[in-house]
């Protein structure tokens, strides 16, 4: 079991690095600044991701009855983990969204995580054994090193970056699949006795409210609304697992990591009706000019 735990931690670290490196390879410094010139949208986006969603996670985890401690920890860590660096990029291609905005926000949140994650953990209820500086160092190693190297390669050798982006994105996906496989052996047996309907319901409540927050704060443009709705609700799985592994000890460590994986699964399921609704709304909006012209 100790070997599997070490393997899980190594695979998670490599998955995070590969995902962030692939994200950086696809973005220039100029692209990174795309969102910075829209201060109102930037501030609303950061408010949604780093303030309102953690607040919702705290309120739901603290008030929902019958939640096991592992579920409380999993929900809180997902609330603290910002937006995902990799999964949302696939999702935003399925509906009419702002790709430039989504990627710029992803990179911005990943860069700010070195500050926001330690601060959020300090404000969350609970007694965490890792200092904020140590959390900041872990975030730096897991996210910023890969992201920075990717952007650097893009700036210096864009042709090489274009060739490397897909392979590293594929590596990140394969590592994520391996991580899930190891989790099935290592975590699921300890998770199942603690996973109940109330835990899943609490996760669903946080996710649905997160989607609503992002959609409402995304501004008047439909594309940024959908992008922020997805980005706000899709938390950073690898970062949350890293935080849980560093802050928790047995017997709660592995069940909490299992709750984080469950949260991710519930999140992906709940994205489907939101994306379906967004597609229908976009089709109705697109058909109105044609109908008027007829």
Model pLDDT for residues 21-40, shown as the tens digit of each residue = 888 887 766 666 667 778 88
Across 191-200, 238-247, 258-267, which has the greatest mean pLDDT? 258-267
What's the pLDDT band for 251 if we cut at 50, 70, 90?
confident
What's the pLDDT band for 290 if we cut at 50, 70, 90?
low
Token readout for 35 is: 């969102």
**Can you tell me the mean pLDDT for 182-193?**
75
Q: What is the pLDDT of residues 91-113, one digit of tens each?
A: 555 555 566 777 788 778 878 88
Give pTM, 2 decimals.
0.83
pLDDT reported for residue 32: 66
What's the pLDDT band for 215 if we cut at 50, 70, 90?
very high
Cα dihedral: 205, 210, 211, 214 (round 10): 160
Read off the DSSP letter of residue 83. Answer: B
**Can you tell me the mean pLDDT for 208-224?**
90
Asked if residue 293 has pLDDT above 50, the reply is: no
Whether 246 and 118 have beta carbons less than 8 Å apart is answered as no
**Can you tell me the mean pLDDT for 254-276?**
89
Task: Report the range of poorest mean pLDDT among 88-102, 138-152, 274-288.
Answer: 88-102
Token readout for 142 is: 């897991």
What's the pLDDT band for 210 if we cut at 50, 70, 90?
very high
Of 35 and 159, which is predicted with more confidence?
Answer: 159
pLDDT reported for residue 98: 60
* Omega cis (within 30) before 251: yes
Asked if residue 1 has pLDDT above 70, the reply is: no
Domain ranges of the chain: 2-278
2-278 has CATH 1.20.1530.20 classification: yes
pLDDT reported for residue 4: 67
What's the pLDDT band for 291 if we cut at 50, 70, 90?
very low
**Can you tell me the mean pLDDT for 134-142?**
80
Asked if residue 294 has pLDDT above 50, the reply is: no
**Can you tell me the mean pLDDT for 42-55?**
93
**Taking Cα atoms as reference points, which of 238, 235, 234, 237 lies closest to residue 271?**
234
Q: Tell me how many degrees the CA angle 272-196-270 measures, rounded to the nearest 5.
A: 10
């Amino acid at each position: 079991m100790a070997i599997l735990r070490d393997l899980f931690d190594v695979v998670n670290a490599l998955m995070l690095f590969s995902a962030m490196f692939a994200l950086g390879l696809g973005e220039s410094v100029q692209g990174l600044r795309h969102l910075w010139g829209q201060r109102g949208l930037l501030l609303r986006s950061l408010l949604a991701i780093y303030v309102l969603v953690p607040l919702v996670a705290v309120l739901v985890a603290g008030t929902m009855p019958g939640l096991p401690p592992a579920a409380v920890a999993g929900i809180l860590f997902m609330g603290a983990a910002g937006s995902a660096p990799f999964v949302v990029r696939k999702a935003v291609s399925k509906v009419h969204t702002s790709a430039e905005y989504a990627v710029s926000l992803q990179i911005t949140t990943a860069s700010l995580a070195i500050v926001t994650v330690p601060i959020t953990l300090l404000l969350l209820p609970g007694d965490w054994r890792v200092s904020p500086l140590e959390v900041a160092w872990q975030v730096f190693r897991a996210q910023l090193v890969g992201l920075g190297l990717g952007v650097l390669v893009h700036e210096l050798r864009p042709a090489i970056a274009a060739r490397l982006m897909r392979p590293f994105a594929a590596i990140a996906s394969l590592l994520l699949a391996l991580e899930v496989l190891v989790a099935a052996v290592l975590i699921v047996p300890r998770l199942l006795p603690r996973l109940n309907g109330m835990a899943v319901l609490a996760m669903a409540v946080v996710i649905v409210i997160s989607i609503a927050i992002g959609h409402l704060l995304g501004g008047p443009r439909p594309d940024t609304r959908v992008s922020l709705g997805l980005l706000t609700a899709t938390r950073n799985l690898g970062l949350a697992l890293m935080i849980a592994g560093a802050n928790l000890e047995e017997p709660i460590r592995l069940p909490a990591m299992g709750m984080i994986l469950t949260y991710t699964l519930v999140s992906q399921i709940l994205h489907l009706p939101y994306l379906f609704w967004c597609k229908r709304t976009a089709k109705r909006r697109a058909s109105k000019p044609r109908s008027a012209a007829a």
